[in-house]
Structure 1
């Protein structure tokens, strides 16, 4: 449903007025085409006042030009460097000087999701609007001009095994070069790309020297799955590896279920929570800090936190916490790499919420322009997007920095927005630390140091 444009603009105007109070740094980058996925790549350079890092984006076009996978270079200003008045001065219709396109890959079909390989984040996997998945070495891939009629770039590897379109569920294993996927065929599919990854950098550029621009994607090398897992009754929307095991993973889907799998014991569910939510489950994330905790986000607008030691009761999901702070379907959840109790969630309501489990049950102020009494655990609400926030990622190389993308077609008439931002540290640092700093500041103002 199309949002009321006046209410969207009023909310956005209010948010802009609060930027100097809520953010340590923010870059706003207008996208000609919406991006359905954003992921951080390797850090390239550390300077005195900023760092430079790769960022992977997609361009979801209307068919007049090809869909692309974009590799950008981002400059990230370090904490306490940007002036408050500077970060709030940007033009929504302009591209940010902090984000520069480095390379374009002409993608065979839409780019619905991007995931980087933890062992080598120059290697990425992409989901498209077909049963196949693609593996790309973004450093050796040639830069292409995405003009009308341009033939797709040739992927380094094609992963086959799905029987129907697999569009969103995608995960890369933290401990082994494994890829996990789910699709409309209700399957969860696992590949090992061990042997192929080892030779990508060595042979990738050589094999391309003899390839013509009109080589089709299907002519690239391909591999079949290591194993196929069956247990869902509807489309698999998201998958996630256990952070400490290449054999354990989980999946969620439109059947409202959360399934835990263990490849060591077979291709049927190890544990199945039939009713994890009352609606479709769109996203899942497994805590890198404590492997007992799993987050799920749903079309029912809630985020559930499960403890895998006690997942269900009477066939119904038994979350240890329910987080209710969105007004529309939740599209993405992710644990914060810096603090084990913090996570983010983004939704079709245009908000990216930051939660702290430790604050549940405690009175707290929220960095939110919307709520005087925020939902339990919510302590920051990023309201810089004017339509659904389809993806975001914490930056593990730059603590507390987040990249988020929105599809703005429903509210602003087209395109999308990329924002790279970091809330002020007074919002997430320990209270005693903040109070000590405030006391010190007060003493300096009054001419004494306590």
Structure 2
């Protein structure tokens, strides 16, 4: 399926022989005796040093800035280890551009290494029949920041453990556009997961046995466990991307939206899953995002290709939006409610801009302005998410191959900005002071904060997944 990769380790092809210094492998010399491997390695190192002295000029590193920096023909992108506390990558057979982090029972506020995380994702395989729902356990995630000389920690495992990837798959005949785990899975012990497919069908899976398989010796997963427990067909073959579970209804309450502007509500009853026949209608175009309110049980927000953000109340018999706000002249791609300040909603657009809205200013027949707005990115915003505990921090993914971290609480006067720009030889000119961090992620698609590992994130793109933690947060 895939493999864990430490991007700072040397890479070797699988059919190459690798000898350790001092071992008895290697080529024969002219006398027929085996060449001493350790001496051979030392000779190679000395030769490389000599070539570097004679031919190489000192390498100058530069800061990469999205939409501003361009790599030259002989330039390569390398992560600066000193700014990461943790950084690991997962290479997958097929792109997995939508995923969710599964809450586990290993405890909250986990700050000690090595770390473990569980993830579920849906693939975008070249052939439909090869698609899967993947349940993964990533363990032995060590610190990747280099030790300081002053670091007196004796726990070498924090730095030296090799990452481990384990996975189980559930076959699905379609590409997965969006996948989400019920927020009540940890509390109920039932790990309900919804996936919206390109076929227009929404599958509800119970991945409980797959999640427990990794940590329960002797577990067996039977064929029926690999099938969805329910399929929502009300979208009638119309593709969709919007999907969200209610944070209030533990039994299961799911919103789904499609490219024709229809939003359906599905609830779990004693008799099974029931989808309302009447759709919520109001968008003139595709519904790109749905987000249940974090504080109001019956309220949700939607964003669409018509550039509108709409607020709805499921109690309304009209199934029409309560409030509509024109947020952008382009698509509203993604949204995120603030978990700590319930009236704040972050939105990201197709023109690369993103903003934060105060819903207290959302009133009928008015056009409020966002409380914060940024145009740092020049490519579509593909993901946005408020930090789960820090109400001013936001993670933003963009098609410009980056995930950026922002602190809205930061303020800087003109003199301070000028000083920072001068110290960076002009590289930071025009950079918003709220920008904390830039993480390279090719074709960045989704990013999620890990609620149980403070400051850690998982992001995905065209070249796989990254599990990382910046020293900035």
Please state if 1:253 is matched with 2:317.
no
User: Which residue of 2 is the match for residue 175 of structure 1?
Assistant: 248
The structure whose RCO (Cα within 8 Å, separation 6+) is larger is 1
Q: CA deviation at 1:371?
A: 4.0
CA distance in 2, matches of 1:63, 1:152: 23
Q: Quick one: which of 207, 217, 225 aligns to 1:138?
A: 207
User: Which residue of 1 is the match for residue 195 of structure 2?
Assistant: 126
CA deviations 1:265-310 (Å, max 9, x no partner) are 331111001x211211101111111111111100111011111111
Q: Quick one: which of 424, 430, 434 aligns to 1:377?
A: 434
User: Which residue of 1 is the match for residue 290 of structure 2?
Assistant: 239
Q: Quick one: which of 209, 229, 232 aligns to 1:159?
A: 232
Q: How has the CA–CA distance of structure 1 residues 43 and 357 changed in structure 2, closer, same or farther, with 3 Å as cutoff? A: same
Alignment of 1:196-345 (within 5 A): 223-225=274-276, 228-266=279-317, 267-273=319-325, 275-311=326-362, 316=367, 318-345=369-396
CA distance in 2, matches of 1:173, 1:222: 15
Q: CA deviation at 1:194?
A: 4.8
Q: Is the 8 A contact 1:284 1:295 kept in 2?
A: yes
User: Which residue of 2 is the match for residue 13 of structure 1?
Assistant: 76
User: Which residue of 1 is the match for residue 49 of structure 2?
Assistant: none
Give SS of 1:34's match. coil
Give SS of 2:315's match. coil
5+ residue gaps in structure 2? Answer: 1-65, 149-160, 214-222
Give SS of 2:103's match. strand
Q: Quick one: which of 386, 397, 403 aligns to 2:452?
A: 397
Q: CA deviation at 1:157?
A: 1.2
User: Which residue of 1 is the match for residue 261 of structure 2?
Assistant: 186
Q: How has the CA–CA distance of structure 1 residues 69 and 12 changed in structure 2, closer, same or farther, with 3 Å as cutoff? A: farther
Q: How has the CA–CA distance of structure 1 residues 34 and 181 changed in structure 2, closer, same or farther, with 3 Å as cutoff? A: same
Q: How has the CA–CA distance of structure 1 residues 76 and 254 changed in structure 2, closer, same or farther, with 3 Å as cutoff? A: farther
CA distance in 2, matches of 1:233, 1:298: 16
Q: CA deviation at 1:222?
A: 5.9
Q: CA deviation at 1:153?
A: 4.5
Give SS of 2:409's match. helix
What's the TM-score, normalizing by structure 1? 0.74
CA distance in 2, matches of 1:10, 1:381: 22
Please state if 1:40 is matched with 2:40.
no
User: Which residue of 2 is the match for residue 58 of structure 1?
Assistant: 122
CA distance in 2, matches of 1:276, 1:124: 30
CA distance in 2, matches of 1:11, 1:161: 53
User: Which residue of 2 is the match for residue 84 of structure 1?
Assistant: 146
Please state if 1:357 is matched with 2:408.
yes
RMSD over aligned CA atoms reads 3.3
Q: CA deviation at 1:50?
A: 2.4
Whichever of the two has the greater Rg, that structure is: 2
Q: Is the 8 A contact 1:160 1:224 kept in 2?
A: no
5+ residue gaps in structure 1? Answer: 87-95, 144-149, 197-220, 408-415, 429-450
User: Which residue of 2 is the match for residue 444 of structure 1?
Assistant: none
Q: How has the CA–CA distance of structure 1 residues 315 and 418 changed in structure 2, closer, same or farther, with 3 Å as cutoff? A: same
What's the TM-score, normalizing by structure 2? 0.70
User: Which residue of 2 is the match for residue 105 of structure 1?
Assistant: 170
Q: CA deviation at 1:338?
A: 2.4
CA distance in 1, matches of 2:395, 2:465: 17
Q: CA deviation at 1:393?
A: 0.5
Please state if 1:31 is matched with 2:99.
no
Q: Is the 8 A contact 2:88 2:141 kept in 1?
A: no
User: Which residue of 2 is the match for residue 74 of structure 1?
Assistant: 138
CA distance in 2, matches of 1:141, 1:33: 20
CA distance in 1, matches of 2:73, 2:114: 33
Q: CA deviation at 1:327?
A: 1.8
User: Which residue of 1 is the match for residue 399 of structure 2?
Assistant: 348
